[in-house]
Amino acid sequence: MSLRKLDVVVVGAGFSGLYLLHKLRSSGFSVAVIEKADQLGGTWHWNRYPGARCDIPSLQYSYQFDEDLQQDWNWSEKYSAQPEILEYLNHVTDRFDLRKDIEFNTEVISARFNEEKSLWEIKTSQGELETKFCVMATGCLSAPNTPDFKGLDDYEGQFLHTGKWPQTQVDFTGESVAIIGTGSSSIQSIPVIAEQAKHLYVFQRTANYSIPSNNGPMDPAEETEVKSRYPEFRKENWENGFGIAGMAIEEMAVEDDEQGRKEKFNHHWENEGLGFLGAYADLMLDKEANEMAASFARDKVKEIVKDTEVAELLSPKFTIGCKRLCVDSGYFEAFNRDNVTLIDLNTNPIDCITSKGLMAGQEEYLVDSLILATGFDAMTGALTRIDIRGRKGISLKDQWKDGAKSYLGLGISNFPNLFTVTGPGSPSVLSNMVPSLELHVEWISQCIEWMRDNNKKVIESTKAVEEEWMTLVNEVADLTVYKSCNSWYNGSNIDEKAKEFLPFIGVPPYTEKITEVAEQNYQGFVFDKTN
Ligand code: N01
């Protein structure tokens, strides 16, 4: 088979990869998207567990690059469920005729930069490719974390992970089910599984905050209003810290009185979902303000959950928002059911998985299905799990051993002509992902175009600029309460991972910075380095 030569290889056919393909192809580049799965969708393909849903309203969690598309598409609910998002992505793919340039069932095994030719050599499960540029559109939450529980291989029942859920319908009717973990994925799936299963055992290590979604059918008046001024609506959202509507406020919780705070928190609890953290401007900046919101949320748990012991176990103890906040549809209510049991792993640690279930705190729980809702090797895992080698054969995994360094979350020193979409050091997971990835896709495409027009062959970041950038990322985080607990934002969910805070907090200054870098001919990047 002859070696295929391309201008750009894009890895991953999720939201980012699809838009990259459209954008780069429209600029005249030859592009192939390589996708491991047998269909597109990325995170929305893999995470099809019961109850999977976007917790950012879909009028915001959708592409804005094409005005006709955003006008034509109608979402049926405020927060869309996974099947509808997948349907949307399929619609976009067909609308822009993308499918023909996506290679499904193809896994990237390795990517090596050939310094003599200034080309990337990509080895996939289906063959080899040679490309001038490689763009990793591999997602921030796409490398599932499977903890090394003793005896896991011995389990003989149905074994599932929320992050790689099977495409076939899973029916828990009449089954005993165990779920380990209480992050967003678990919090979304528990109410649905509890309705089907004979009994559901929930194994919790850390209680989590969750705000009710109050999801419902799309309000036609709201949809009409947003669509009547969609570009302005998008722009307004982008001007606040997280790029999400409802989070641009100036009032401080510590300056309000008790009654005022109660009313405000109540309003946000009932209406805003993730925007609960936008009730006041100081919630993520000041521990005292944060504790006001946290204690309100804990009181709500105690109001909802009837058994006081269970309510206490479900009441989080840490700073609200420093682990990713969850949004649910009946999560705490599920613990009022007779067929749901909460097991606290702090007093009953998992000893091992057995052939028929799991042993925790000297008791064996016999279950037909065992679900791991144990999250992801976030932000870096999808990259370090591929054998990526840059200059002098250096591996990305080794280079990031003591911490992931990247310039703006876009480029990595020693890895020329390799771009990451929503990489470490960009707002990514602390923003509305779709506009964030659109920003990166446009930046990367324009950069590649600029290089073509200006006769540049190779672009790379330097150690100095990425050190400086990641220092700033951490200095900004130090001004907030984000570092005050263990979370996947700082790598503490993966034992062997460097403990460092990876997302840049603040959409507007970040957008300004990368725009300025581009305007100044990609300031901070080096072109056509001669060693
Ligand atoms: O994963 P998580 P997730 N033994 O890492 C526990 C996005 N998302 O898949 O907190 C026992 O949040 C772990 O416990 P602890 C969203 O950004 C978005 O739920 O480390 N327990 C925790 O409870 C989200 O934040 C949507 O003590 C273990 C859980 O497993 C991100 O994906 C929907 C353990 C993991 O929670 C990840 O969510 C769903 C062990 N060895 C998800 N290891 C949207 O709506 C881990 N845990 C867009």
For 383-392, how does the pLDDT look when each residue is reduced to its tens digit (9 = 90+)?
Answer: 999 999 999 9
Nearest alpha carbon, ligand 1 atom 21: 181
What's the 139 CA to ligand 1 centre distance in angstroms? 16
Q: Does ligand 1 have an atom closer than 6 angstroms to the CB of 111?
A: no
**β 102-103/108-114 pair status:** unpaired
The ligand 1 atom at the shortest distance from the C-alpha of residue 182 is 23
Per-residue pLDDT tens digits for 166-217: 999 999 999 999 999 999 999 999 999 999 999 999 999 999 999 999 999 9
Instruction: Give nearest CA residue, ligand 1 atom 13.
Output: 181
Check residue 46 and give left, alpha or beta (phi > 0: left; psi -120 to 50: alpha).
alpha
Provide the token pair at 251: 């009032």
Q: What pLDDT is recorded for position 328?
A: 97
Give this prediction's pTM. Answer: 0.97
Give the ligand 1 atom nearest the CA of 54: 45
What's the gap in Å between 430 CA and the centre of ligand 1?
Answer: 15
The verdict on the CB of residue 54 being under 6 Å from ligand 1 is yes
Pocket lining: 205 vs ligand 1, CB cutoff 6 Å: yes
> Roughly what angle, to the nearest 10 degrees, separates helices 287-304 and 258-271?
60
User: Ligand 1 in contact with 373 (CB < 6 A)?
Assistant: yes
To test the ligand 1 pocket, which listed residue (493, 494, 496, 497) has its Cβ within 8 A of the most ligand atoms?
493
- 145, amino acid identity: N
Q: What angle do CA 517, 522, 525 make, to 5 degrees?
A: 115
Instruction: Tell me the CA–centroid distance for residue 484 and ligand 1, in Å.
Output: 17
Cβ of 375 closer than 6 Å to ligand 1, yes or no, is yes
For residue 2, pLDDT over 70 is answered with: no
Q: Determine the distance separating the centroid of ligand 1 and the alpha carbon of 325, expressed in angstroms.
A: 10
Contacts of 396 (CB under 8 A, 6+ apart): 383, 384, 386, 388, 389, 390, 412, 415
What is the whole-number distance in angstroms between the Cα of residue 46 and the centre of ligand 1?
Answer: 15
Query: Whose C-alpha lies nearest to ligand 1, atom 7?
Result: 184
The span from the CA of 45 to the CA of 50, in Å, is 13
Closest atom of ligand 1 to CA, residue 185: 19
CA distance 373 to 182: 7
User: How remote is the CA of residue 199 from the centroid of ligand 1, in Å?
Assistant: 22
DSSP-derived letter for residue 425 is T
Q: Decide if 372 contacts 147 (C-beta within 8 A).
A: yes
For ligand 1, whether the C-beta of 432 sits within 6 Å is no
Which pLDDT value is given to residue 249? 77
3-state secondary structure 279-347: CCCCCCCCHHHHHHHHHHHHHHHHHHCCCHHHHHHCCCCCCCCCCCCEEECCHHHHCCCCCEEEEECCC
What's the rounded Cα separation, in Å, for the pair 19 and 65? 9
Q: Is 422 helix (H, G, I), strand (E, B) or coil?
A: coil
For residue 339 and ligand 1, the question of a CB distance below 6 A is answered with no
Atom of ligand 1 nearest to the CA of 184: 19
- Average the pLDDT over 94-101 and give the result: 98
Q: Best of 48, 188, 324, 345 to mutate for ligand 1, by most ligand atoms within 8 A of CB?
A: 324
| Cα 377 to middle of ligand 1, angstroms | 10
Pocket test for ligand 1, best of 82, 205, 490 (most atoms within 8 A of CB): 205
Residues 6+ apart with CB under 8 A from 305: 311, 314, 332, 335, 336
Q: Give yes or no for residue 246 having a pLDDT over 80.
A: no
pLDDT of residue 250: 84
Q: How confident is the prediction for the chain on average, in pLDDT?
A: 96
Pocket test for ligand 1, best of 165, 203, 329, 374 (most atoms within 8 A of CB): 374
Q: What is the pLDDT of residue 530?
A: 76
Instruction: Give the ligand 1 atom nearest the CA of 492.
Output: 20
- How many angstroms separate the Cα of 517 from the Cα of each of 27, 264, 508? 21, 40, 14
Q: How confident is the model at residue 244 (pLDDT cuts 50, 70, 90)?
A: confident
| Ligand 1 atom closest to the CA of 324, numbered from 1 | 25
For range 52-62, the mean pLDDT? 96
Residues paired with 328 in a beta bridge:
212
Q: Which two tokens stand for residue 164?
A: 């790689």
Question: Could you tell me which residues come within 8 angstroms of residue 258 by beta carbon, excluding any fewer than 6 positions away?
Answer: none
Closest residue by Cα to atom 24, ligand 1, is 184
Work out which ligand 1 atom sits closest to the CA atom of 147.
41
- Closest atom of ligand 1 to 205 CA is 27
Task: Say what the pLDDT of residue 101 is.
Answer: 98
Give the model's pLDDT for residue 418: 98
Identify the pLDDT of residue 8.
98
CA distances from 450 to 103, 438, 443, 510 (A): 27, 18, 10, 21
* Ligand 1 contact, 147 CB (< 6 A): yes
Quote the CA–CA distance of 69 and 234 in Å, as a whole number.
Answer: 14
Pick the residue whose CA is nearest to atom 17 on ligand 1.
Answer: 324
Sign of CA dihedral 162, 163, 165, 167: positive
Q: What is the mean pLDDT of residues 464-490?
A: 96
Number of neighbours of residue 385 by Cβ within 10 angstroms: 14
Q: SS3 for 483-511, per residue?
A: HHCCCHHHCCCCCCCCCCCCCCCCHHHHH
Q: Which atom of ligand 1 is nearest to the CA of 375?
A: 1
One-letter amino acid at 132 equals: K
